[in-house]
Structure 1
Amino acid sequence: MSTLMALHLQFNLTETLRLAEHAVSSTEQAQSYTETEDGIACPGALVWIHDEGVYLMSSGLPRLHDPDRPDSNLLVYADGWNPNTDGYRRDVDLGGDDFAEHLHLTDPAAPLIRELRAAHAEGYRWLQLTVTGTAYEVSVAGSCQRPL
């Protein structure tokens, strides 16, 4: 019998909130593949990406540029998942394919942007994505939980 282990991806909350504020203040958004196919407008999102590393970026247009790399988007890497500093990592819960998932910030039922702002004001330091197989959960954490 195998035990399902969760993968905890943690992103610096201050840096993540910068991306989120850019996304919600932008008048135009880069749509996800599904939004484009369905003809639905993106309401503003953090785009969670797995390709060379695991990171977030803003869906807002024009793009939020990295001041250290002016021709690149500003990225917030998950703790321990920046290939430039941490090397290349893999995890079965992220699957074998690269992906981009939109984490909408202004869904009426539970606006993520409000949760991020409140958590930051209360001193939380991390946005956490807990990934198990084909599901994920978004939460905030006060400290970074590194696996042993």
Structure 2
Amino acid sequence: MIVTFDRALIERLLAHAEAASERRATLTQLFDKSLRKPGHGAREWGRQDDIDPAKIPAGLWLVGDHGIYMMSNGLPLLPSDDGQKPNLCAYAREADPAQNAGRAHDVKRQAFGGDDGCEFLEATLVRQALRQASGDTLRMTITRKPSNFWPDRPSLKSFRRRKMSDATPDTVSAGPQSRDQIWASAVAVAADSVEQLRRCDVDRVVSLVDAADRTALTGWLIARRPDLAGAVAEALSALAQEAYA
């Protein structure tokens, strides 16, 4: 699916990201131990406080939730011009809920699927696309496979939103134990251990992983915490309703 962005706004977001000395990590970048602070490499899935923000490369986040938009990964955050939102977002014209409410949700689902997602687009990739763009519009092709800026060129491929099942040997060791480590790392985003996970945080943990991995995660979680079975069911129901709303 081809979507279009305001070229000047993308240039502004990119300039902010490139000028920043520190930047935010995406969930996928939490896997990258080369971005960690010294002594914080033990966990397979790190936390934000494990990451050295000065090591994060400049770039934009391509986000799909209530619409499709890009924002800078630079710190401090770049607020909206009216000061009402902490992040200035460049919405795809076809998936902007404020300007295209009738189609925004459908376009987002066609591009990202029912789940929310975030892809990191390196600054060099975005800068190259901006140089090739004509007029005031930047075009981008988004599919559930790797996304490409328009026109399609192999060098412009971005990273696919990572699923836990896509983890490579460079990030997670092979074998049954590694899967346990992955699920424990997902829980660690909300609690120090699965034994300390609170009922109110179950939905947060479940929503972190791709839909394809939720059955495995929730089965693992219920086996260790049967008392959370009801909370798991509620979280899955809420995510299903959101996906098909």
Shorter-normalised TM-score: what interval? 0.7 to 0.9
Q: Between Structure 1 and Structure 2, whose CA radius of gyration is higher?
A: 2
How many percent identity over aligned positions?
28
CA distance in 2, matches of 1:61, 1:19: 12
Structure 2 contact 66–105 (Cα < 8 Å) conserved? no
Change beyond 3 A, Cα 1:68–1:58: same
Task: List aligned pairs for 1:20-31, cutoff 5 A.
Answer: 20-31=14-25
Q: Which residue of 2 aligns with 1:89?
A: 105
Residue identity matched to 2:28: T
Q: Which of 50, 57, 63 is the matching residue for 2:77?
A: 63
- Return the structure number with greater helix share: 2
Structure 2 contact 63–119 (Cα < 8 Å) conserved? yes
Change beyond 3 A, Cα 1:114–1:129: closer
Alignment RMSD (CA, Å): 1.9
CA distance in 2, matches of 1:76, 1:114: 18
Q: Which residue of 2 aligns with 1:34?
A: 28
CA distance in 2, matches of 1:71, 1:94: 24
- Structure 1: segments with no counterpart, 5+ residues: 1-6, 141-148
Matched, 1:19 2:3: no
Change beyond 3 A, Cα 1:132–1:34: closer
Q: Which residue of 1 aligns with 2:121?
A: 103
Matched, 1:44 2:58: yes
Q: Which of 118, 130, 133 is the matching residue for 2:144?
A: 133
Structure 1 contact 93–134 (Cα < 8 Å) conserved? no
Q: Which has the higher contact order (CA 8 A, sep 6+)?
A: 1
Q: TM-score, normalising length from structure 1?
A: 0.76
Residue identity matched to 2:145: T
Change beyond 3 A, Cα 1:130–1:71: closer
**Number of aligned residue pairs:** 127
> Could you list the per-position Cα deviations for residues 23-59 of structure 1 after superposition, in whole angstroms to 9, with x for gaps in the alignment?
0110001011121221333211111111111111000
Q: Which residue of 2 aligns with 1:144?
A: none
Query: What's the CA shift for 1:72?
Result: 2.2
- Return the structure number with greater strand share: 1
The runs of 4+ residues in structure 1 deviating greater than 6 Å are none
Change beyond 3 A, Cα 1:86–1:44: same
Q: TM-score, normalising length from structure 2?
A: 0.48
Judge which range, 10-19 or 89-98, deviates more.
89-98
Residue identity matched to 1:9: V
CA distance in 1, matches of 2:150, 2:127: 12
